[in-house]
Structure 1
Amino acid sequence: MTKMRNIAKYVFLTIVSLISIFPLYWMAVSATHSSIDVIRGALLPGNYLFKNLSNLLSAGDVSGAMANSFKYAIMMTIFSLFICSLAGYGFEIYHDKAKDVIMAVLLLAMMVPFVAIMIPLFQMFSKWRLLNTTMGFLLPTLSTPFLIMLFRQSARSFPHDILEAARLDGLNEFNIFLRIFIPTMKSTYASAAIITFMGAWNSYLWPKVIMTEKTSITMPMLVANLKEGYVTDYGVLMLAVLLCSIPTVIIFFVLQKQFAEGITGAVK
Structure 2
Amino acid sequence: MKSLKRTPIYLFLTLAAGISIFPFLWILSSATNKSIDVSNGRLLPGSSLLDNFRNLTEQVELGQALWNSAKISVTTTLLALLIASLAGYGFEIYRSKAKDIVFNILLVSMMIPFAAIMVPLFQMFAGISGFLPAIGINTIASVILPTFTTAFLIFYFRQSSKMFPKDMLEAGRVDGLSELGLFFRIYVPTMKTSYAAGAIITFMSSWNNYLWPLVVLQTPDKRTIPLLISNLGSSYSPDYGIIMMAIVVSTLPTALVFFLMQKHFVAGMVGSVK
Which TM bucket (shorter chain)?
Answer: over 0.9
RMSD between superposed Cα atoms in Å? 1.0
| Correspondence 1:197 to 2:203 | yes
Letter matched to residue 126 of structure 2: S
Equivalences for residues 54-65 of structure 1 within 5 A: 54-65=54-65
SS in 1 for 2:257: helix
Give the counterpart letter for 1:96 in structure 2. Answer: S
Question: Is 1:218 aligned to residue 224 of structure 2?
Answer: yes
Secondary structure at the counterpart of residue 73 of structure 1: helix
Q: Does 1:138 align with 2:148?
A: no
Post-superposition CA distance 1:21-50 (Å, at most 9, x none): 111110000000011111112111100111
Q: 1:248 aligns with which of 236, 249, 254?
A: 254
Give, in whole Å, the separation in 2 of the partners of 1:137 and 1:81: 17
Report the Cα offset of residue 53 of structure 1.
1.2
1:45: which partner in 2? 45
Q: What is the aligned-residue identity percentage?
A: 49
Is residue 2:80 matched to residue 1:80? yes
2:29/2:43 contact within 8 Å kept:
yes
Q: CA deviation at 1:12?
A: 2.6
Determine the C-alpha separation between the residues in 2 that align with 1:15 and 1:208.
Answer: 37
CA distance in 2, matches of 1:134, 1:43: 39
Distance apart, 1:54 and its partner CA: 1.9
How do residues 96-245 of structure 1 correspond to structure 2 at under 5 angstroms? 96-129=96-129, 130-245=136-251
Whole-angstrom CA distance in 2 between matches of 1:250 and 1:41: 29
Q: What is the distance in 2 between the residues matched to 1:144 and 1:118? A: 15
Corresponding residue of 2:70: 70
Q: Please list every run of 5 or more consecutive structure 1 residues that lacks an aligned counterpart in the other structure.
A: none
CA deviations on 1:194-215 (whole Å, 9 max, x unpaired) are 1100011001111111111111
- Which consecutive residues of structure 2, in runs of 5 or more, have no partner in the other structure? 130-135
CA distance in 1 between counterparts of 2:257 and 2:113 reads 27
